[in-house]
Amino acid sequence: MNSRLVCLMLALAAFSCRQPEITESALDMANLDRTVAPGDDFYQYATGGWQAAHPLKPEYSRYGSFNVLSDDNEKRLKQLFESLGSASPVPGSEAQKIDDLYRMGLDSARLAAEGAEPLKKGLAEIGSITDSRSLAEVVARMHSYSVFPFFGGYVGADMTDSDRNVLYISQSGLGMGDRDYYTDTANAGIKDAYRQYLSRIFALTGAENPDSAATDALEVEDALARISWSSVELRDVKRSYNPMSAKDLKSTYPNFDYGAWFRELEINEPDKIIVGQPSYMAALDSLFAATGTDKLKRYMEAQYISEYSTLLGDDFYDAHFDFFQKKMAGVKEQQPRWKRALGTASDLLPEAVGKLYVQAYFPQESKDAMLRMISNIRAALAEHIDSLTWMTDSTKMVAKEKLEAIVVKVGYPDKWKDYSTLIINPTLSYMENVRNICAWNMADNLSRLEKPVDRTEWLMSPQTVNAYYNPTTNEICFPAAILQPPFFNPAADDAVNYGAIGVVISHEMTHGFDDQGRHFDKNGNMTDWWKKEDEETFRKMTDVLVAQFDSVYVLPGLRANGALCLGENIADQGGLRVAYTALQNSFGGVRPADIDGFTPEQRFYLSYANIWAMNITDEEKARLTKLDVHSLGENRVNVTLRNLQTFFDAFGIVEGDPMFRPEEERVVIW
C-alpha cells in the first residue's frame, strides 16, 4: 500500500450492550485444523481447514478471505453491468459510460484486429522528441495519461497546511516497481526475464531492433533504480517533505524543462511544490544531461507500451501476464476477460459504479450498526491512551483530542463525483478511451491546485473491499463492500464482529498514532505534538517490533521486512488490543455463553485469524516482501498475537509452547 493515506465527531450516546439476535454460528468450524494445537501454530490451527478447502485458484497469486468477498462483489457487479446493456442506457449518462467501456473491454475480436494501432499516436509523440522542451512536453502528456516515466506529480493536501492543496513531485518510473529488482543480484533471473518482456512488447509494435530497444530502456531503468530511495526510506514522511517554489525547482534541476512541463499540463507555476526525494531529483537531473535522447526515448516507449499492454489484443496481454503475473507472482492462469473488463470500468469510473453498487447492495442498517461499533471502539482507544504508562500526560491529552476529532466515513460518499464532462466514445479504441479517462482524472486532480481541500472526498470506491486512514484529513473510511461476512455479519455474535470488522476499525484508528500518523495533529497538519521523551520511548518500542518481524523467514533465505511493515504492524497490534477492550465493554457485565464450545475471547481471536486465511505462491511472498507495507497474513496473526497476554489466556498458552513469548520480550504500544 501504497499507498496517500486517508469520519463525524465522537458519538456521545453509549453503545448498546444488548446482544443482537444471533441467527447463525458465524464461525465455520471446518476452517479449523484440529490436528495442530493453538499454542503450536495458531494460524494453522485457526485457518488450516480453510486453506485445505480453498486450494489456490490458478488465476490468483494469493487467495484469501478478501478475495472470496471480492469474487462475490465481482459477480454482483457483473449482474449490474449486464443489466445496463439490456436497459439501453440514456446517451451521455453514467450508465452509458460504464456500459460502453465494459463492452469495449469484452470485444476480443476488435482488440485483436486493432493490434498495436492504438499505441501509434503516443509512440509518434515520443519519437518526435528532439530537445529538452519537447522531452518535457511529452513527459507531461504521458503523466496526464497515468504513465509516469522519471518522476510523478499529483495534487493533494499540504501536509503542513492541510486545508490547502499543493503539488507533490516524487520519484517514479521503475517498471518492476522496486529498486531491489534492479540492484540486488539475487534478482538477476527476474531482471533478465524483464528484459525479454520488453523486447517482446517492442517486437509487437513493429520496432526494428526490439532487443536493442529493450537493452536501452533497461539501462535507463537501472540508472533510475540506483538513485531511487528504498521502500523503507519512502515511509519517512518528514524526510519526504521538501517545499520549494516552481522558480527554485527550475533553477535547482535545470536539465529538465519544468517550465514546459507546467505549460503542457496547464498548471500555473505554484509558489509551493513539495519535492519528495531531493537526492533522487538531483541525480535525475544529472542523468538527463548524461544520457542520449534516443536512449531516453526507448525508455519512455517501453513505459508507455507496458502501461497500456493490458488494454490491447491477446498478444500484448499475454506478454504482460507472462512476466508480471506468471514470472513475478506465480499466477498460473489468466483471469476471464469479463473480470478484467469489469475491473477496468470499476477502477476508472469508481463512484459511478459505486452509486449502482450501493443502491443495490448496501442497507442503511449496516451503516447504522457500523457507526455504533465505531463509537464504542473510539471510547476503548481513549481508555487505552489513558492507561499508557510510557506516555506523558500532556501528550495523552493531545492524543485524545486527535482521537475525538477523527472523522468517520462509512459505506459511500455523501456527495458523488460528477462525470458529466467525461466522454466515452465507442468509435475510439478501448485503449484510447482509457487514456482519455486518465487524462480527465488528471485534469480534475490538477484543477484543485492551491484550492481548499475537499474533505468530503473519498479515496476509495464503495465497491472496494478495504479500508483506510488519511492523516491529512484525520479520517477513517470503510467502503460498503467490506461490510459483509467474514468482516461484518449482523447475524453474528459480538465476539466474531469485534474480532473481524472491529479490529479493522481500531486498526485504522490506530494508524493515526503509528510511526507515520503520529506526526499529524487533529487537523491533519504535520507537526511535533509529542514530548521528546515520548518520541524516544516510542522508537525504542517500535525497534523491538521491527526486530520481531525481521527474525521471521517468509521463505528460505528471505526474512520479513519489519521496518517496511512497521506502520501496519503497529496498527494490527493496536487494533487487536483496542477491539478486545471494546468487546469486553460491550458485555455490560453480562458475559455471553460459549458458542460451538468456544468462549467469546477465543471466538474473537479465531475471527481475527480467519480474515487473514490465505493460500499464496512463493513468488508472491517474495514480491510482497519487497513491495508491500503489510506483513503476510500468517505473520499478521502469529507474530502479532505473541505479544498479547489476553491471547495466551484465551487458549491456555504457556511457557514452552511455540506461540508463547516471554513477557520481557513482548512489546505493547497502544
Active site residues: 508, 572
Phi, psi of 543 (to 5 degrees): -60, -40
CB 542 within 8 A of CB 462: no
One-letter amino acid at 80 equals L
| Residues 313/115, Cβ–Cβ less than 8 Å | yes
Q: Where are the beta strands (DSSP E) in 138-225?
A: 151-158, 161-171
Give 341's contacts (C-beta < 8 A, 6+ positions apart): 101, 102, 103, 104, 105, 106
Which DSSP symbol is given to 595?
A: B
Which amino acid, residue 320? H
Question: Can the peptide bond before residue 149 be classed as cis, meaning omega within 30 degrees of 0?
Answer: no
| CA pair distance 254, 256, nearest whole angstrom | 6
Q: Which residues, in sequence order, are bridge partners of residue 595?
A: 598
C-alpha cell at 393: 500526560
Cell numbers for 118 = 492504438
Which residues lie below 8 Å from residue 66, measured CB to CB, with a gap of 6+? 465, 466, 611
- For 367, 407, 420, 523, the CA distances from 80, given in Å and listed in that order, are 22, 31, 20, 39
DSSP string, 365-417: HHHHHHHHHHHHHHHHHHHHHHH-SSS-HHHHHHHHHHHHH-EEEEES-SS--
Report residue 306 as a C-alpha cell. 507496458
C-alpha torsion angle, residues 138, 180, 507, 592 (rounded to 10): 130
Burial class of residue 21 in the structure, from the number of CB atoms within 10 Å of its CB (0-12 exposed, 13-18 middle, 19+ buried): exposed
Q: Are 611 and 65 a contacting pair, CB within 8 Å?
A: yes
d(CA 117, CA 121): 8
